[in-house]
Chains A and B, each alone.
Chain A
Amino acid sequence: MAVLAEAKPVAGRLDPALLLKEAGAIAGIVFALTIALVGLRTKDVPGGLDIVTRFSDVFAATIVAFCGRLGLILLREGRALPVLLVSLPFALALMALLLYVQLWAPHAGLGHYLPFDSTVVNWCLAIFALILAGRAAWSLWHAASTKSAKEREQTMDRVAVGVQKAATLLGPLLLAFAIVLPFLPFADRRILDIAILVATYIMLGWGLNIVVGLAGLLDLGYVAFYAVGAYSYALLATHFGVSFWICLPFAGIMAAFAGILLGFPVLRLRGDYLAIVTLGFGEMVRIILLNWYKFTNGPDGISGIPRPSFFGLPFTANPPEGTQSFHDFFGLEYAPIDRIIFLYYLILALGLVTNLFTLRIRKLPVGRAWEALREDETACRSLGINPRNTKLTAFAIGAMFGGFGGSFFATRQGFISPESFTFIESAIILAVVVLGGMGSQIGVVFAAILLIGLPEFFRELQQYRMLAFGAAMVTIMIWRPSGLLAHREPTIRLFPKEAARASRK
């Protein structure tokens, strides 16, 4: 920042050589990185592999990097107008061209004028150009073109506080929306499936939030408890025919035991070391499921897991002799979507239970002890808090909700195998928690919609989903390392009225 402040007074005259040198350096790096990775590509041809060159993309990337950097430098030097004048028309023209080619004339020759072959990359380019234009416009609007990181953080904090305050209103609204969602006209099977998936991750995120957000124990193996819950239900239901509602608490208890089992050896570990051991635990559980063939059916998985019933009324078109199914009982037409709607409400209820439980337990001594433990374990010991028990309860309760989620997963899929419980699942759940802001309940909801919902909607972009996922994480880590909504509201206030008055202002 100090460098920038010094650079400002001399904004009058720019040294073009220096400018070109800096932008050229970036372009050079991009060129060196892409020449082999993008420029050369192996392709299957009859009789072996062939190398295809795509040097046009490499040159396009280099030029884009050069121009982009130049724009950023000019912005930094307080020359926003030329940047705006170039980047805005470029962005608009590119978007217009893209839309035209995609929507009206997919086969016209215009496609050759696009900088890259891939539509997605072109769109990214257009959006980046638009962002650059937006920044330029912003700095023209405000005299100060650069904000220090601290100011930015404070602004974001204010936004977070605002959203959190709005959340008291937004929460019920979102909940109302979630409740009526299946009856909205656009809610078809696909939308409901996505909603169920998002709700599952919200619930898992809330469960993991207890361990990571409240107790501050970085758990990279949360999927292990999810697996324990799923297999508990699957095995009990297929072998003993126990109903879902009896299995659910049992799966939770099994997962809680697994949590305690993991908790004991890692009591003395913190931070990175804890993360590594939990990662190993997650893999251990998956590998046991994979290799204990007699018990878990190994890689073949367990199929034919009973679907949940509506308090004993199954969702089938033709129920077995002497029993009634859901639509018979309520005198409805049979519709396959009924089961989906029921599953949706089931996960919604499970998620709400998790949320209410967490909100409640935060205000109880054990919840406060978790947070205190996250802040300073030594101080906790000096106040007579037993760190062992406190950590174990956090692991057990977090794991219990993972187990509930797991048995829901099993009953929804009807088939489970160790394939479903890989490390990437743990990583996604953790990403939901971290992105949302550790310890923030509403943050988890937003993050799950962002990370799970949006990629599902854009399934067509298959190969770019993970790329966007990574980009989102990197952006968050740069802009807001503590997560989207990391503002923490005290669990108890001495002057609740004053706080309410302050929020009304």
Chain B
Amino acid sequence: MSAHVTDKPLLTVEHLTMRFGGLVAIDDVSFQALDREITAIIGPNGAGKTTVFNCLTGFYKPTVGRLTLHHPSKGDFLLERMEGFDIPQHARVARTFQNIRLFPAMSVLENLIVAQHNDLMRASGYTFYGLIGLKGYKRAEERAVDRARHWLDRIGLTKQADWNAGNLSYGDQRRLEIARAMCTQPVLLCLDEPAAGLNPRESADLNKLLLAIREDEGIGVLLIEHHMDVVMGISDHIVVLDYGRKISDGTPEFVRNDTAVIRAYLGEEEEEELPPEVAKDLKPN
């Protein structure tokens, strides 16, 4: 990714609304994410965080709203109008999943090669050149293996490259999924709870990896996370959702002290709202 600096934000979400029948999962949410920044989306369970991801990556078509991705070299893409499988290929938005979705019966290396499908497909002349064994495809495949190797080195799974992905430990699978997303050469990487189920040490490694991706690749990272140490430790910018609405948006320090956020997470101080007779009953204790 070039170190192209533009004044336009990488991702602009405007008035995003998603309704499922009568249920409003996301209600008029707007925010921005910049490249070379980690933007975290946090909020209690059911706040609509994953739905935002699903809209961004084409799994859902938003009911209302505009999602503009500003690609540094290709220009603007309106994600809400694109087919799901075109978004990673053209707009270069990659994602991981809350429940890991690797290809378990395929090897670790194959997982990373499949991620480069579209480039390889073109190089293999949509299979025809590949079938007759032209040199061009061989070279493209070698390049793909090099890229996979690069990411295996970075996540420390080089030795396990020929294992079945399903045989890796949970933490390794999480990292492999991130590497697989990175092999699609994204400009925006969307991570859905990457630290879920990791032990503190793995979680710290993950932080390092994400910071390194931000520094070295110069891409934007969008992060859904419940682990506050991860979120507060590495985010440059935090968006807080609650019941599908954005309730806060700013730097970690700002969000940490925002009363709306505290209320959403810890609840309001409800003592005064108790009916007088209940309060009276509670008092002797």
Least CB separation from A376: chain B residue: B101
Cβ-defined contact, A490 with B124, below 8 A: no
CA distance A364 to B117 in the complex (A): 9
> CB within 8 Å of A: which of B35-60?
57-59
For residue B152, which residues in chain A have a CB less than 8 angstroms away from its CB?
Answer: 494
Q: Cβ of A425 < 8 Å from any Cβ of B? A: no
Cβ-defined contact, A499 with B85, below 8 A: no
Question: Which stretch in A231-239, A275-283, A383-391 binds the other chain?
Answer: A383-391
Q: Cβ of B155 < 8 Å from any Cβ of A? A: no
Cβ-defined contact, B184 with A364, below 8 A: no
For residue B115, which residues in chain A have a CB less than 8 angstroms away from its CB?
Answer: 383
Cβ-defined contact, B130 with A365, below 8 A: yes
For residue B104, which residues in chain A have a CB less than 8 angstroms away from its CB?
Answer: 375
Q: Cβ of A369 < 8 Å from any Cβ of B? A: yes
For residue A371, which residues in chain B have a CB less than 8 angstroms away from its CB?
Answer: 103, 105-106, 110
Cβ-defined contact, B107 with A493, below 8 A: yes
Convert B71-88 into 0s and 1s, putting 1 for each residue whose CB lies closer than 8 angstroms to a CB of A. 000000000000011111
CA distance A369 to B117 in the complex (A): 7
Least CB separation from A493: chain B residue: B162
CB < 8 Å neighbour of A383 from B109, B148, B162, B184: B184
Least CB separation from B109: chain A residue: A494
Q: Cβ of A492 < 8 Å from any Cβ of B? A: yes
Contact of A492 with B117 at beta-carbon distance under 8 Å, contacts A364-B130, A381-B85, A384-B86 already known: no
Q: Cβ of B70 < 8 Å from any Cβ of A? A: no
CA distance A490 to B95 in the complex (A): 25
CA distance A357 to B115 in the complex (A): 23
Smallest CB–CB gap between A385 and chain B, Å? 5
Cβ-defined contact, B95 with A361, below 8 A: no
CB < 8 Å neighbour of A385 from B85, B101, B110: B85
Smallest CB–CB gap between B245 and chain A, Å? 27
Least CB separation from B130: chain A residue: A364
Contact of A494 with B88 at beta-carbon distance under 8 Å, contacts A372-B106, A376-B101, A382-B97 already known: no
Cβ-defined contact, A385 with B145, below 8 A: no
Q: Cβ of B221 < 8 Å from any Cβ of A? A: no
CA distance A312 to B113 in the complex (A): 47
Q: Cβ of B94 < 8 Å from any Cβ of A? A: yes
Least CB separation from B162: chain A residue: A493
Cβ-defined contact, A490 with B110, below 8 A: yes
Smallest CB–CB gap between A498 and chain B, Å? 8
Cβ-defined contact, B117 with A385, below 8 A: yes
Q: Cβ of B278 < 8 Å from any Cβ of A? A: no
For residue A372, which residues in chain B have a CB less than 8 angstroms away from its CB?
Answer: 103, 106, 114, 117
CA distance A174 to B8 in the complex (A): 65
Interface centre among A364, A383, A385 (most CB of B within 10 A): A383
Cβ-defined contact, B59 with A368, below 8 A: no
Cβ-defined contact, B107 with A379, below 8 A: no
For residue B10, which residues in chain A have a CB less than 8 angstroms away from its CB?
Answer: none
Cβ-defined contact, A381 with B162, below 8 A: no
Interface centre among A384, A491, A495 (most CB of B within 10 A): A384
Q: Cβ of B161 < 8 Å from any Cβ of A? A: yes
Smallest CB–CB gap between B183 and chain A, Å? 8
Least CB separation from B160: chain A residue: A494
Cβ-defined contact, B109 with A492, below 8 A: yes
> Which of under 10, 10 to 19, 20 to 34, or 35 or more describes the interface residues of A?
20 to 34
CA distance A387 to B114 in the complex (A): 13
Convert B96-139 into 0s and 1s, putting 1 for each residue whose CB lies closer than 8 angstroms to a CB of A. 01000111111101100111011011001011001100000100
Q: Cβ of A190 < 8 Å from any Cβ of B? A: no
Q: Cβ of B226 < 8 Å from any Cβ of A? A: no
Cβ-defined contact, A376 with B103, below 8 A: yes
For residue B87, which residues in chain A have a CB less than 8 angstroms away from its CB?
Answer: 384
Q: Cβ of A152 < 8 Å from any Cβ of B? A: no
> CB within 8 Å of A: which of B136-195?
137, 141, 145, 148-149, 152, 158, 161-162, 180-181, 184
For residue A491, which residues in chain B have a CB less than 8 angstroms away from its CB?
Answer: 110
CA distance A494 to B181 in the complex (A): 19
Q: Cβ of B32 < 8 Å from any Cβ of A? A: no
CA distance A48 to B192 in the complex (A): 76
CA distance A500 to B115 in the complex (A): 26
Q: Cβ of A360 < 8 Å from any Cβ of B? A: yes
Cβ-defined contact, B180 with A383, below 8 A: yes
Smallest CB–CB gap between B206 and chain A, Å? 19
CB < 8 Å neighbour of B94 from A382, A488, A490, A492: A382
For residue B12, which residues in chain A have a CB less than 8 angstroms away from its CB?
Answer: none
Contact of A384 with B88 at beta-carbon distance under 8 Å, contacts A365-B120, A371-B106, A375-B105 already known: yes
Smallest CB–CB gap between B33 and chain A, Å? 18
For residue A376, which residues in chain B have a CB less than 8 angstroms away from its CB?
Answer: 101-103
CA distance A381 to B162 in the complex (A): 24
Cβ-defined contact, A384 with B107, below 8 A: no
CA distance A381 to B87 in the complex (A): 9
Least CB separation from A216: chain B residue: B105
Cβ-defined contact, B149 with A494, below 8 A: yes
Interface pairs A-B: 6 shortest CB-CB: A384-B88, A384-B89, A375-B103, A494-B161, A490-B107, A379-B101
Give me the interface of A with B, judged by CB distance under 8 Å.
357, 360-361, 364-366, 368-369, 371-372, 375-376, 378-387, 393, 488, 490-495, 498-499
15 extra A-B contacts, CB within 8 A, seeds A382-B88, A488-B105, A493-B107: A365-B117, A368-B113, A372-B117, A375-B102, A376-B103, A378-B59, A383-B114, A383-B180, A384-B85, A384-B86, A384-B87, A393-B127, A494-B109, A494-B145, A494-B152
- Identify 6 residue pairs between A and B in the complex whose beta-carbon atoms are under 8 Å apart, listed by A's number: A368-B110, A368-B113, A375-B103, A376-B101, A382-B94, A492-B141
